Chains A and B, each alone.
Chain A
């Protein structure tokens, strides 16, 4: 296909097969069927002359072989370091000259990319994106340079208390599962990755049968249809790779691990089995998590640990629903001699949540925030494209942007109490303490 004629190269415009029209101020999502048979979600928006196309391939860093940990990260950092006839310098120069960004990032379950460009450079942006996916060069110079950068970053991370704590927590919670491994790699595995590994990764991971696309901004459905055909048409339909991971076996009985480290502030990470995104109780769990520790200053943990007692600057909980094993985590940073007190309070709040659940007023407050703040997620072109990607990843449907708030609204106090009891288990809580010895945090719940 010609480099400059992508807009005219397809025989016909895109079909819009689904169109969700909503109230006047709501956002309209279009389902675009490209002439070549690809599907994409689009929020067409001509407010600013910016276009973002996000794409994802199921299967992430958890599929990297144990002896090549960090492979996905090295690939995602080098895909834009030269492709086709353009070496690293030429490729990067063109991106900067045209203010185009093409970024890749691989999480444990999915490899993602995003093209962001001004309207004036859409044509060249999609050409460069196509090149990164189909003809990455992986020349020695950029690969070795990025490898050195990753090694330095790993060395620095290895001394960071939060990193040490989260690594240890994942090791304990996920045991032999790939999620337990450091997806960013370790110096030995990073050193052992060869160019052939990068090439094979691209060949095996980029396939149209695992592809999802979300786009937003100053582009019509017809142009988007032709653009995605241009970017992805040369990828194989399938590579036979099965992105499915074995289910993780998360321990039902928690343990406490103390990593001794001479630090001015002790860091505590906690976790237990959580709830998957596709679970029918997901929205209920979101409300309960908001009340416990996900809701910032509105949460119980923040109130008890910070506002009432001044024990910490930050304390929070979070639902982390990985595809093959969901967890709930919490974290706090607190001075060593008070780590035990902070931890006891968090354990106690965990138990209270299990025993009694949130109050009617707390559930109402959580629902008011979660529904009211929903439009705040749609404030940049890139964030809208990313949300459309997530909607497809989780198979939420074309009308999700309109339905989402009613799903939250439907949560009742009874639901919240039931899910709090089923989900939050103080005995299942694994605790990792990184700090000096006098961080007496193993004291039992009062």
Chain B
């Protein structure tokens, strides 16, 4: 069975033996800012003569205007349509004919575009990526056709997948008025109504140098990249709305009063019941920000893999579940999320599994976390550091996502230094606060309910 990854964000780090750095850093990256406000990050790795070239916009589905859900993702698709210089999908053809791979992705907090390509072709993709930041051309026909594509994408990722359908209801229940409750792909009915004007209005508001971060990882140095970045991206005029500062996004810190809700879905294409729960949680930007490092350690101890405490308790010892894991997402513009998921054993109801989880969690929070647990979690994180820069492609993606939600490069690089200072008391207190002070939403996915006519078990 594939093992659950320990944490969403901290898969790996590296120790750089640089004399001016007193502690272990993650990537050994460098950063500078162009005059128009665009930030540029370089992650050197000279193993193979290739680079990963990524442009991240600080905008995602949680920034969408009311009633326009899915517009961030729709625009991401339309960005491949063309510009006057590279019309009608020419960019796709040019990248492919230069041996490059490209794609894009949209999240709640960011939208990213990337090309993986031989380093000698880097200027080519920089030219095209810079061009489409401001000069996008999309015909009405493109809009009509591409809207059908994203409708099919939603069908294949959500409508055809019962756990995704439930997941949308759970997110909506957890977040209430917070925009994280809106699905990234959008609601089907709102997607159908998205127009060319909607896309361009969003594009004009958010696609500008000061709202973008360039990350280049691979066979490149800051010295070599700087003149290229200035030539291609530096040539884009600064946005008139930019006042010279990189401010945090305007997201409300309001959360509705704490409540615990449960969403149950019966679906004919479900064979095995599933149980999951999400809690609102602190992030680097909102809530008890000092708790994030301690909660990373708590998640590792609780549900990070088959040696974690509650996995041992619920899956190995009690056998009420066949799998159990926790995850903590602290990289967020708004609040973070703490996840728990469990597949109850055959013959065990989701409610019974839930009770077993809550009992085990209470015991863990009471006096179950030891200093040795905390030290072991730290050692494991440190042992993984060496993998952080093994693949420049994954380094670019991981680093870029942190910067795009508003972390500084120093926040990212000093992570090992910060989390190794966390004490067992901090872990205990942060965990108790997490469950005492946050809302939760529980999702239960069940096979189709049999009708009375078919005979219901007594």
Contact = CB atoms under 8 A, between A and B. Distances in A.
Interface in A290-306: 295-298, 306
B145 A148 contact: no
A310 interface: yes
Contact of B305 (A96, A146, A159, A297): A96
Contacts of A47: 45-47
Interface size bracket, B side = 35 or more
Interface residues of A, number: 71
A208 to B, nearest CB: 29
Given A119-B386, A159-B270, A313-B156, A48 B14 contact: yes
Contacts of A158: 271
B96 A297 contact: yes
B288 interface: no
Contacts of B391: 379-380, 383
B322 A118 contact: no
B1 A150 contact: yes
Nearest to B116: A376
Nearest to B394: A380
Nearest to B267: A159
Contacts of A383: 391
A97 B96 contact: no
Contacts of B218: 379
Interface string A193-218: 00000000000000000000000000
Contact of A149 (B156, B162, B323, B392): B323
A335 B155 contact: yes
Interface in B281-325: 305-307, 312, 315-316, 319, 322-323
Interface in B100-122: 100-101, 116-118, 121
A351 to B, nearest CB: 24
Q: DSSP majority for the A interface? A: helix
A145 B307 CA distance: 13
A161 B271 contact: no
A313 B97 contact: no
Interface of A: 25, 27, 45, 47-50, 77, 88-89, 92-93, 96-99, 118-121, 141, 145-146, 148-153, 155-156, 158-159, 161, 262-265, 267, 295-298, 306-314, 333-335, 365, 368-376, 378-383
Q: What 8 A-B pairs are tightest by C-beta distance, nearest first? A: A372-B99, A310-B148, A99-B383, A380-B391, A264-B159, A155-B271, A313-B153, A265-B155
Interface of B: 1, 14, 45-50, 80, 89, 92-93, 96-101, 116-118, 121, 144-150, 152-153, 155-156, 159-160, 162, 218, 268-272, 305-307, 312, 315-316, 319, 322-323, 343, 345-346, 376, 379-380, 383-384, 386-387, 389-394
12 contacts: A118-B387, A120-B386, A145-B315, A156-B272, A159-B162, A311-B152, A335-B155, A365-B93, A368-B96, A374-B99, A378-B48, A379-B393
